[in-house]
Amino acid sequence: MQQWVEQVMREWLLAFGYSFHFGVGSVGPIDTWVQLANSGWAYQWGPSDYVEIHVDSLDSSVRRAVERTIHAVIRHDHSQQPSETVEAWLREDAYRPTVELLREWELPQTEATFSQPQTIELSGGGDWQGQVPGYFVWIRFAASLRASDVSETVEEIIREFLRPEQLEWISGETPSILLYQSLHSLDMYDETFGSPTGGEADATEEETMSFRVLLQALVAALESDGSVLANVIVSELVRHPAWRRRAITSLTLVRRMAERRRAVLTTTGIAPFSDFIAEFTVAALPQAAKQACLAAATSRLPDAAFPLSEDMARTLEGMIAANLNISEAARKLYMHRNTLLHRMDRLYADTGFDIRRFDDAMALFVAHQLSIREEVPNSSQHRV
């Protein structure tokens, strides 16, 4: 894939006189540009693929042209090798830009009814089947994990908590498991997913055992009993058999959003589709609205700089995850309360937003999410 993209982009970039090279690794979230310290720009176009352009200033129209050219090549490649398996869909979506995934996101014109169990075919060959409603669950492990050494132990732990209709290991940049879990088989037919503060992972009472709590307990057991660190990405609720492809795409969308909000995975290990409403809203905003939001954010304090540094972004995300409870946020972020207070004071001094206030915390969160992809006019180059 990288060789084909490079062949197309080489002629394109050389024609405009740009010096560049393609690299393997990660410089940022997929489908984002990063300004490098060595006066260059890098575009992360795949899970472990990026192109670096050696130029001090890169016009936004050129960046859009680079994005569209790369993704046109990728779409052409996938059209030559069609596949109907959920694993292939997961791989295909990894190379598609976020805007394209959201643009094609349409609610199927089928009514969801739970009065009679319906069977969902989980692959083109019909070898994966389960009942709706349910969730696709993508369990991703550390890159250093050798699946062959722990697969039996990991699967045994998973089946202690879940009753998946199908479970399959997926090879890739990191070892992972894709499974489909019907709520019928968990006797959770009328249960909601559960809120982030809806209970503890060791809850035993039936009314507190939401699917979220069940997954939190699974992550804890994998670490304590299997010595394995894992992150769990959960699709939207699959309410109808026709929603199969859409649900797989939701896994990729959640992964993209979670990479931008790292505190979600580092503090809970769980990233469900239902927790990223704000990110989906930001991603779907028209260009004019994005620019207006960023202008409003930088108008409060003329020297405000976006995006925030990783430490300051984690501070903001930790506070939001803790419902602005300072003590709880300090616990989630593994830092002393006074250290957190000092960081909050720095954020206020550098941005003009006091994240003790709900309105300010959410406004700063939206501005940071927007600035990951957008340039902020007349802003300082200093990063908080």
Residue-averaged pLDDT of the chain: 77
In a domain, 129, yes or no: yes
**Claim to verify: residue 261 and residue 304 sit in the same structural domain:** no
Q: Which residues contact 265 (CB under 8 A, 6 or more apart)?
A: 231, 258, 271
**Claim to verify: residue 272 and residue 132 sit in the same structural domain:** yes
**Claim to verify: residue 177 and residue 299 sit in the same structural domain:** no
Task: Indicate the number of domains in the chain.
Answer: 3
In a domain, 367, yes or no: yes
- pTM comes to 0.66
240, amino acid identity: H
Domain stops at, among 82, 103, 132: 82
**Claim to verify: residue 263 and residue 161 sit in the same structural domain:** yes
Candidate ranges 53-67, 99-113, 353-367; pick with highest mean pLDDT: 353-367
- Which of 7-11, 195-199, 240-244 bottoms out in mean pLDDT, i.e. has the lowest? 195-199
**Claim to verify: residue 62 and residue 181 sit in the same structural domain:** no
Q: Greatest CA separation found in the chain? A: 66
Share of the chain above pLDDT 90, in %: 13
**Claim to verify: residue 166 and residue 256 sit in the same structural domain:** yes
**Claim to verify: residue 125 and residue 222 sit in the same structural domain:** yes
Give the residue with greater pLDDT, 380 vs 337.
337
- Which of 52-56, 131-135, 196-200, 339-343 bottoms out in mean pLDDT, i.e. has the lowest? 196-200
Which range marks the domain in which residue 153 is found?
A: 118-280
In a domain, 323, yes or no: yes
**Claim to verify: residue 243 and residue 257 sit in the same structural domain:** yes
CATH code for position 275: 3.30.70.270
* pLDDT tens digits, 304-348: 778 888 888 889 988 988 889 999 999 888 899 999 999 999 999
Residue 80 has pLDDT above 50, yes or no: no
Q: What is the dihedral of CA 377, 379, 383, 384, to 10 degrees?
A: -110
Cis, peptide link before residue 307, omega less than 30° from 0: yes
